[in-house]
Amino acid sequence: GAVVSQHPSWVICKSGTSVKIECRSLDFQATTMFWYRQFPKQSLMLMATSNEGSKATYEQGVEKDKFLINHASLTLSTLTVTSAHPEDSSFYICSARDEGWGYGYTFGSGTRLTVV
Amino acid sequence: TQLLEQSPQFLSIQEGENLTVYCNSSSVFSSLQWYRQEPGEGPVLLVTVVTGGEVKKLKRLTFQFGDARKDSSLHITAAQPGDTGLYLCAGAEAAGNKLTFGGGTRVLVKP
C-alpha cells in the first residue's frame, strides 16, 4: 500500500527560529499533498494544498508567509514554520493520495512541534 | 464551505457492547473515508465508500454510505479495548480534491 513518511516526528525550537518538516511519498508519486494542523483532542484542520511545481493553495486564515510550502518533486513536500512562536506549537500532519490505489488518502505519522 | 458533523463527540462503553458513530452533511461527496487515529500518530485509513447505499464490512466494523452520499455511519460490534481511539470521517467533493474532516469521535472501550 501507499506509504507517506514524515520527518521529524517531534521537534523543539526556540521562539523566533524556523523549523522545516518533510513529507515524502515513499512508493508512489504525488502531484498533490496536503498539510494539516491538529490541536489536542480536536480533529484535523486543513492548512494548505501543496502542488508539485507550482504555488501552494492556502486555506482561509492561514498565513502563507508564516507557513512556507515547497513541493519541488513528485515525492517531497516541505512545510517551514517561519519565526515560530509558542502559539505555533501543534501537531502537523501531511497526506497524499496514490491515484493508483483508489480513493483513500495516506497520512504521515505527524510532527509534534513545541516552540519554547 | 462543506461541513461534516460527526456524532457523538465522545463515547465510553464496556467491552462487548456495540457502538455507532454518525457522520452527516448537507453536501454530496464523491467519496467518504473513515480513519482511526492513535495519540501522537497520523490517521490510519479504515475504509473508503464511494457508492450511495454501499455497505462495507471490516471484521467487526460495518460502514454504510447513505443513498444520497451525504452521510455515513460506522458500527462496531462487540467492541474491544483495542478499538479505543479517535475515529474520523472525511469526505472529498471529487476524486483528488482535499478532504473535509468531521470533528471526530473519541471512543473509549473499558475492559
Contact B50 A44 (CB under 8 A): no
Q: DSSP letter string over chain A?
A: ---EEEE-SEEEE-TT--EEEEEEESSS--SEEEEEEE-TTS-EEEEEEEETTS--EEPTT--TTTEEEEEEETTEEEEEE-S--GGG-EEEEEEEE-GGG-SPEEE---EEEEE-
Nearest CA in chain B to A40: B39
Contact B103 A42 (CB under 8 A): yes
Do the bridges between strand A10-13 and strand A111-115 make them parallel or antiparallel, or are there none, so unpaired?
A: parallel
For an interface test with B, give the residue of A4, A43, A57 to mutate (most B CBs within 10 A).
A43
**What is the C-alpha to C-alpha distance for residues A41 and B105, in angstroms, rounded to an integer?**
10
User: Which pLDDT tens digit goes with each residue over A20-49?
Assistant: 999 999 989 888 999 999 998 899 999 999
**What is the C-alpha to C-alpha distance for residues A35 and A47, in angstroms, rounded to an integer?**
6
Is residue B13 within 8 A of residue B111, CB to CB? The reply is no
pLDDT at A113 over 90: yes
User: Which pLDDT tens digit goes with each residue over A57-105?
Assistant: 999 999 999 999 999 899 999 999 999 999 999 999 999 987 776 667 8
Q: What is the pLDDT of residue A102?
A: 66
Q: What is the pLDDT of residue A72?
A: 84
List chain B residues with CB under 8 Å of A42. 103-104
- Cell triple for residue A96? 497524499
User: Which residues, including other chains, have CB under 8 Å from residue A104's CB and lie 6 or more apart?
Assistant: A2, A97, B33, B45, B48
List chain A residues with CB under 8 Å of B43. 44, 93, 107
Q: B96: pLDDT confidence band, cut at 50, 70 and 90?
A: low
pLDDT at B1 over 60: no
Residue from the list A32, A42, A103 with its beta carbon closest to the beta carbon of B31:
A103
Contact A104 B96 (CB under 8 A): no
**What is the C-alpha to C-alpha distance for residues A97 and A32, in angstroms, rounded to an integer?**
8
User: Which pLDDT tens digit goes with each residue over B34-61?
Assistant: 999 999 999 999 999 999 999 999 999 9
Sign of CA dihedral A56, A62, A65, A66: negative
Q: What is the pLDDT of residue B93?
A: 77
Work out the average pLDDT over B93-105. Answer: 83
**What is the C-alpha to C-alpha distance for residues B101 and A10, in angstroms, rounded to an integer?**
24
**Average of per-residue pLDDT values in chain B:** 92
**What is the C-alpha to C-alpha distance for residues A111 and B93, in angstroms, rounded to an integer?**
27
pLDDT at B95 over 70: no
List chain B residues with CB under 8 Å of A99. 96
Q: What is the pLDDT of residue A104?
A: 73
Nearest to B102 by CA among A43, A49, A108: A43
Q: What is the pLDDT of residue A95?
A: 95
List chain B residues with CB under 8 Å of A29. none
Is residue B52 within 8 A of residue B32, CB to CB? The reply is no
